[in-house]
Structure 1
């Protein structure tokens, strides 16, 4: 009993030291603090990989917020989105050293939720050393949503060419509409098959199981990969969404090879996500100015779903995106969806989810001052 009491007292003392300071001083939060709610992929430094990685804070009496970032942060800067009390994300450019994060006047209050997320599909590394809050601020637990989306894909899910990157892409727009947590593992230019493609040395079927995205190859201080510990994805996803294949087609991967690769990938995912629905997007294709749309691997995605059903896995579903994207929805020079195009896709996918039986959460579990329930 004495030993247990000693442990509890030491733990309490550590928590007090990490989260409190004398009344006339700011509050410094170490990067190891258990109440920082990390999302996405972070290495041991800790630093971000993959678009959309970041963290959430639930702070009582928040007035000011600073981030101290380490040397592995992208130089000369990286762009992050900052959302206060579930409001729109505002872009803030941060760099190595001390960074003051602007907060709206409405952000100060009894209870504030701050979400900070990397935007870019490349050059998106943020190495967190510590967080500094105003005196009197206190870090509280963040309760995640009951819905957690895991999106796997390529540039069409990473928000390539958008001003705010992934934050304006359909995965984030959908998760916001459903009040869901989100993890995005989408790498522009990468094929699903583990082959070189458009500067990526690995495919997503390899890289998804690593901490780092495929940009690791060009990063001098971290040009290696490490296995990802999926136990760190807490809570685990409730729904897995896959939209991939464009870069396999561009690298002349045959339909039969692509289908075999996809089925092997889903089989490996099932060792992690045994009961979660897996939603398989068909391609919305590459629209042209004359109104035509070029589709890759016609029929393959339906055959992939049917093959899983034949194995007894009825929890894999086809999301037919045919006709979702037209010429007016894409940038004419690269045929990737514009901001308005991603909004359209998110609206159509949200409608599909509702028809399928999934409704948005009524409210975010972690309440914030001034946010209606």
Structure 2
């Protein structure tokens, strides 16, 4: 008599959800996904519901922290291919399976259940054989990066953080690469073209100063089954961030947001972040600038980031620091080349 496969439902506490998931449950924002810790692992099928992107969405899948491979999934059962390079003998060790949506759009994975091979055992994601809990978390919201390597970075950044033009999307973007370097979890909330200011910008109905605090990314505006936003419960981010990195402003400049307006919205944003991340150091990154062939950089909001830091200090918040990132990206690295992400990740990983 054949043994029955193991099926776990979407409300099983042994599934470690990361990123932004709605109640369906379904993903929003590039990089959102899940993790499993499986003993005797041989096969996995994602069973997805009707809120999954049609005709498909692309996810990155990694086994035991190996390279992420792309799988295209859609509503219904989706057997996940196992790469030939993964050759662990059944029954010997636990396997960590990581799955996340790659894209900044068409990125909804509506999980109903997961089917695994017979005689496998699923255990907590906090009990890997290394004995070190996965307390590392990476999140980026067009901006925001929570990367945890016994710390977490929350980073607000320009649109390229989500890997808009890269073959594997966010899995090749610099926040993700930084997380991989430090063996961090990855939760990336990034949207190309969105400003920090809450304005319409390059197809985004809202800015990051609004959208970061919502479950949904700005793609909600173009959906028919979920054309609304809901507040994000930051208590679901377990564990909480320990460091905050903010790197944003290019799209505000492109939308002619004035220096005074930008300073105000940025300062208000940090003030609101402080209600969530009350004691964490905040690192304000200056722009990379627009690199030119002659080695110079086109800059925007020159001096404004220093003013923002000074305003925080004047309010009594001394735990805010300025980081000059000009020159991290050279003309040879320009967007959308993969090199730009390698360059930035290298600086952040030093």
When the two structures are superposed, what TM-score results if normalisation uses the length of structure 1?
0.84
Alignment of 1:112-191 (within 5 A): 112-143=95-126, 144-145=134-135, 146-191=150-195
Q: Which residue of 2 aligns with 1:39?
A: 18
Task: Report the 3-state secondary structure (helix = DSSP H, G, I; strand = E; otherwise coil) of the residue aligned with 2:39.
Answer: strand
| Cα deviation, residue 290, structure 1 | 4.1
Larger Rg: 1
C-alpha displacement at 1:291, in angstroms? Answer: 3.4
Larger CA deviation: 253-262 vs 148-157: 148-157
- The answer on whether the counterparts of 1:162 and 1:168 sit within 8 Å (CA) in structure 2 is yes
Query: Is 1:238 matched with 2:242?
Result: yes
* 1:232-287 alpha-carbon deviations (Å, 9 max, x no partner): 11111122222111111011000111011000000000000001122221110122
Distance 1:318 1:307, change over 3 A: same
Structure 2 partner of 1:57: 36
Unaligned runs of 5+ residues in structure 1 are: 1-21, 331-335, 352-373
Equivalent residue for 1:205? Answer: 209
Contact 1:152 1:243 in 2 (8 A): yes
Distance 1:275 1:299 in 2: 26
Give the ranges of 4+ consecutive aligned residues of structure 1 lying more than 6 Å apart after TM superposition: none
Instruction: Give the aligned partner of residue 325 of structure 1.
Output: 329
Mapped to 1, the partners of 2:187 and 2:316 lie a distance apart of: 27
1:71 aligns with 2:50: yes
Kept in 1, the 8 Å contact 2:32–2:186? The answer is no
State the match for 1:4 in structure 2.
none
Tell me the TM-score normalized by structure 2.
0.89
1:168 CA drift (Å): 0.7
Q: Which residue of 2 aligns with 1:360?
A: none
Secondary structure in 2 aligned to 1:345?
A: helix
For residues 1-373 of structure 1, the aligned pairs below 5 Å read 24-104=3-83, 105-107=86-88, 108=90, 109-143=92-126, 144-145=134-135, 146-330=150-334, 336-351=335-350
Task: Between 145-154 and 292-301, report the one with greater CA deviation.
Answer: 145-154
| Corresponding residue pairs, total | 325
Structure 1: how far apart are the matches of 2:24 and 2:65?
28
Unaligned runs of at least 5 residues, structure 2: 127-133, 136-149
Change (3 A) 1:297 1:62: same
Cα pair 1:216 1:225 within 8 Å, conserved = yes
SS of corresponding position for 1:80: strand
Q: 8 Å contact 1:149–1:182 — kept in the other structure?
A: no
2:291 and 2:329 in contact (8 A); partners too:
yes
Q: How much has 1:156 moved relative to structure 2?
A: 2.3
CA deviation after TM superposition for structure 1 residue 63, in Å: 0.5
CA distance in 1, matches of 2:93, 2:110: 29
* Bigger helix share: 1
